[in-house]
Amino acid sequence: MNSRVLHNILRFIILILIQGLFLMGLTIDNGILIHMNIIIYPLAILLLPVNTPKFVQLLSAFLLGIAIDFFYNSPGVNAATCVLLAFSRSFLLNRLEPRGGYNVDSVLTLSQYGFKWFITYSSIFMGAFLLVLFSIQQFTFVFIHLILLKTILSFIISMLFIVVYMFLFNPKE
C-alpha cells in the first residue's frame, strides 16, 4: 500500500517536471501549428487507482494544477481544469467499466485492460480536458474557433506523447 502511494506521488512529480521543464517549451513556430500544445500531465489524474478517495483525488488534482500553473504563469487556469476533470472522472469510469470490472487497487494499466480500452478512456478524458483548459484560457466563447483549433491540434500531439509515455514507462502500480 505504501509503495503504491509513493509510486503515485513520484508519478505526479515526474509528470510535473516533464511538463514544466521540457514540454512547455516545445512549440512549432510555423503557421497554425503554433497553437499546438503538448500536454501530458493530466496522465497523473487519469492513472490514479479507481478506489482512491474522492477527497484525495480532488486535492491532488488541485495541487497538480497549481504546480503546472507556476510553470505556465497562469494561476488557477490549469488547477480549475484539473479539479473539474478529477471530479468527473468517476462518471467516465462508470460508463466505460469493462466486463470483468476494475482492479480497484492498482493504476489503470495498459496491459490489464487492453490498448483499445485505454485509448477510448484516455482520449475522452484528454479531449474534455483540453477543451475545458483552452476555454478557461480564453475565458470567452467569442473565440470558439480558436478554442476548437487548439483543442484538436493539441489533442493529436498529446495523445501521441501519452501513448509513447505508456509504452516507455509501462506503469504497473
Partner 1 sequence: MQSLLYFFARFGNFIFFVFLEIVCFVLIIKYNNTQKQIFVNSSAFYVGKSMDYLNALKVYSGLISLSDSIAEENARLRAKLRFATIDASYNRDTIVDSLYKTRYSFISAEVVSNTINQPDNFITINKGQKMGLEPGMGVINDNGVVGIVRKTSKNFATVSSILNSQTRISAAIKRTGAFGSLIWNGRDIRFVNLQDIPKHQQVITGDTVITSGYSSAFPRGIMIGTVTKVQFDPGSNFYDLQVRLGTDFSRLNYIYIIQDKARIEIDSLTHETKIIQ
C-alpha grid cell for residue 114?
Answer: 487492453
Stretch that binds partner 1, among 41-49, 76-84, 124-132, 145-153 (CB under 8 A): 76-84
Residue 55 binds partner 1, judged by CB under 8 A: yes
* 173 touches 107 (CB < 8 A): yes
- Quote the CA–CA distance of 60 and 92 in Å, as a whole number: 19
**Which one-letter amino acid corresponds to residue 95?**
R
Site for partner 1 (CB under 8 A): which residue of 9, 10, 70, 87?
Answer: 87
Of 67 and 162, which CB lies nearer to partner 1 in the complex structure?
Answer: 67
Please work out the total of residues on this chain that contact partner 1, with binding judged by CB under 8 A: 19
Residue 42 binds partner 1, judged by CB under 8 A: no
Alpha helix segments (H runs only) across 18-53: 43-46
> Which position has the grid cell 505504501?
2
Site for partner 1 (CB under 8 A): which residue of 74, 103, 106, 112?
Answer: 74
Q: What is the CA radius of gyration of the chain?
A: 16
Residue 69 beta carbon to partner 1: minimum distance, rounded to whole angstroms: 8
Neighbours of 128 (CB within 10 A): 18
Residue 66 beta carbon to partner 1: minimum distance, rounded to whole angstroms: 8
Site for partner 1 (CB under 8 A): which residue of 3, 140, 145, 168?
Answer: 140
Q: What angle do CA 111, 113, 119 make, to 5 degrees?
A: 95
Residues contributing to the site for partner 1 (CB under 8 A): 54-55, 58-59, 62, 65, 69, 74-77, 79-80, 83-84, 87, 136, 139-140
